Structure formats: structure tokens, C-alpha cells
Amino acid sequence: MAQKTQAIVAREPSAPGPNWTLEDVEVGPPARGQILVRMVASGICHTDIVLTSVPEGVLDIHYPKIVGHEGSGIVEAVGDGVTSVQPGDPVLLSFDSCRACAECTTAHSAYCDEFPVRNYGGSQQSWTIDKEKAWGSFFGQSSFSRLSVVSEASVVNAKDLIKSDDELKLFAPLGCGLQTGAGAITNIADAGANDVVLVLGLGAVGLAAIMTSKIRKCKTIIAVDRTDSRLQLAKTVGATATLNTTQEGFDLNQVIRKIAPAGASVVIETTGVPFLIEAALTGTARRGKFIMIGVTPLDFDVKMNGIAMINVRLPAIFSRSLQAVH
């Protein structure tokens, strides 16, 4: 039987910012392989904004749509075949996957063959607004709904990890931003004690990269942003140097070389800002790794000649490069 709840709804594509509304919706019962979750918290990711700005039909996006993909909550009910959780369990939510393709069965489910349709497109199966079908199950979860039907593949049972309701709320961004930054350092860069790590942008992804670099005992960790409060936060979680791009005459490459004359061996780029990308590329060490996470403007071109000369590696990550999360 369908239940009434409230959700943040994108009625149509909007740009440059979101045009979301809080609305009454109805959510159906969990089908086979699904879980009914009552959300306690959700992060807001730039992907939520970007994917409610694209036209109808692009990237399997349809409207009206309920987004949100950094949720945490409590299991209310389970559908047939669900074995990982039971009612009352605290859960953390992440992306959906088929669990059957070559990528999924080799612990690379972030690259699932069905990723776009399962995560960007979602489903109309469980959702209605004003008696009309709506699109939910965004990233398998649609965490902007107080009550949501979630794919079991999106769920991590946190009953042995979470010590309090406050922790469950705090850990919601693990579902996307935090694991993306951490995964970039551990699985893509494989950073260690000899590395100089440069992190551009200090949102959830960048700060996660800072924290993970500290855990892996990287010798130098440089944080770059335009906001002093974020730079101060980066210091508390592991940055050994902070750079504010708004300073008059700021020259990123020059400052990098002053801190690390050979350049940064690992660069984590989360901003998508062209002038920062170009400057950081020139500040990258020979055989360094420049990891692209931020989304650039469509007309931005990277000049490759200098990169080839010093053999900089450019492993862009789709998102969430932690392996075997579930």
C-alpha cells in the first residue's frame, strides 16, 4: 500500500541553479530487491544540481524528478529477496548497480554497465505526485524524500558501525562525496609517504582527499580554495599548507614550486575551473598523477604538449572509486 510523505521535487530542468519545491508525494511498498527507508539525513551534491538542469531525455533524465544521493536512514520494510538488512537497521546509501555485469562482479560497481539508466534515470515504479507518475530511485535512493524505496544494491547496513543517531546523520555524505575523495587517493593515486598531494577545491570530495592523504602519511598536503573558512578546516583535517586563490597576484604554479620544487606528485582536481587546472598541470611533477573529478565547461580544452613532455598521467575518475564498498 502506498504511503504519503514529502519530498524535494524538480518539476523541470533549471539553470544555473536549482528550482526545487517541497511537495507531498506517495511512495509505494518495496518490490523484490527493494527496501523502504525513512531518511534521517541527506547530503547535497553538485550532481543533484547538474542533473536537474539537463533537458528532458538527456542522460536518461525525466521530470518530475526526486533526486538526492547521499542518504542515511532507518529501514522500515523490506521486499522479497532482501537479505542484507531488516526493519530497524540503520543504513547508509550510495549508488545503484546491477550486480551482474563484468564490472560489478570484479568489484568495480561504480562502472556498472547499467549505471546511467539505474542512477541518473531512476524509475517511476514507486512514485506518484498528484496521482501522476514521478521519477524516483535516483542513484537507487532519491534521498530527498523523507520516505523512500531504495535498491538493495545501494544500501550499506550500518548496524555494527553506527554508535548513535547523530553519527548516522553525520555519515550520510559517505555515499558519494567522501568516498569519491578517499577513493581517488587510495585506489587511483595509491598515494603514500613520499607523495606531495595537491588538492584543488575543498568541498566534501576535496576534504576527504585531504583526510585520506593524512591517513596514508603523505609528506606534503597542499589545500587550495578561495574561502578562508574551508582552508582553516583543511588544516584541522591534515593539510600541511593552504593557498587562497583570491590573493592578489596569486600564481599557483609558482607557489607549488616554492613548497615542493619538483612539483606535486598527486593532484586531485575537484573544481572544474579552467585556470586552476592549467596552472596545476604546470605544477605537476614528472610522472605525476593529475586526477580529474571536477566537471569543466564543455568548451574547455587541455593543452597536451607540456603534459606529454613530462609524462603526467591523467586518470579521470567517474565517481566513487572505492572498491567493494558493499
Q: Which residue has the higher pLDDT, 238 or 321?
A: 238
21 lies in the same domain as 167: yes
pLDDT of residue 200: 98
Q: Is 193 helix (H, G, I), strand (E, B) or coil?
A: coil
Give the pLDDT confidence score for residue 1 in this predicted structure: 82
9/101 Cα distance (integer angstroms): 32
The answer to whether residue 232 scores a pLDDT higher than 70 is yes
Distances (CA, A) of 221 to 83, 97, 186, 214, 280: 42, 34, 15, 8, 14
pLDDT for 126 equals 92
Strand partners, 107: none
pLDDT 10s digits, 24-37: 999 999 999 999 99
Query: What per-residue confidence (pLDDT) applies to 235?
Result: 98
Residue 311's pLDDT is 67
Structural domain boundaries enclosing 192: 178-309
What pLDDT shows up at residue 314?
78
* Same structural domain, 113 and 198: no
For the chain, how many structural domains are there in total?
2
- Please determine, for residue 312, whether its predicted confidence score (pLDDT) is greater than 80: no
The CATH code of the domain that includes 261 is 3.40.50.720
What is residue 324's predicted lDDT score, i.e. its pLDDT?
A: 36
Tell me the range of 14-23, 223-232, 299-308 where mean pLDDT is highest.
223-232
What's the pLDDT at 323?
45
pLDDT tens figures, 125-169 = 999 999 999 999 999 999 999 999 999 999 999 999 999 999 999
> Residue 310: its pLDDT value, please?
66
Judged against a pLDDT cut of 90, whether residue 91 lies above it is answered with yes
Residue 280 lies in a domain: yes
Average pLDDT on 242-250 reads: 95
Confidence of residue 306 (pLDDT cuts 50, 70, 90): low
Q: Is the pLDDT of residue 178 over 70?
A: yes
Higher pLDDT, 1 or 90: 90
The CB density around residue 302, as the number of other CB atoms within 10 Å, is 14
Query: What is the mean pLDDT of the segment spanning 186-207?
Result: 97
Smallest Cα–Cα separation from 222: which of 147, 157, 276?
276
Q: How far apart are CA 233 and CA 229, in angstroms?
A: 6
- Domain edge (last residue) among 175, 203, 233: 175
pLDDT above 70: percentage of residues in the chain: 94
Quote the cell numbers at residue 249: 597576484
Q: What is the CATH number of the domain that holds 12?
A: 3.90.180.10
* 103 and 26 housed in the same domain: yes
| Best CA proximity match to 63, nearest among 135, 136, 119 | 135
CA distances in angstroms from 152 to 82, 222, 247, 274, listed in the order given: 7, 38, 47, 38
The pTM (predicted TM-score) of the whole model is 0.88
Q: Confirm whether 321 is domain-assigned.
A: no
Does pLDDT of 217 surpass 70? yes
* Structural domain contains residue 318: no
Res 14 pLDDT > 80: yes
In the predicted structure, residue 211 carries a pLDDT above the cut 90:
yes
Calculate the alpha carbon distances from 277 to 260, 268, 283 in Å: 18, 10, 10
* Alpha helices in 51-164, H assignment, sequence order: 115
Which one of 175, 195, 219 terminates a domain? 175
pLDDT at 305: 65
Q: Stretch 18-25: mean pLDDT, rounded?
A: 96
How high is the mean pLDDT of the chain? Answer: 92
Check pLDDT > 90 for residue 288: yes
* Structural domain includes residue 322: no
Do residues 24 and 169 both lie within one domain? yes
* Residue that finishes a domain, picked among 175, 191, 211: 175
Is a pLDDT exceeding 50 seen at residue 322?
no
322, 183 contact by CB (below 8 A):
yes
Amino acid letter, 247: Q
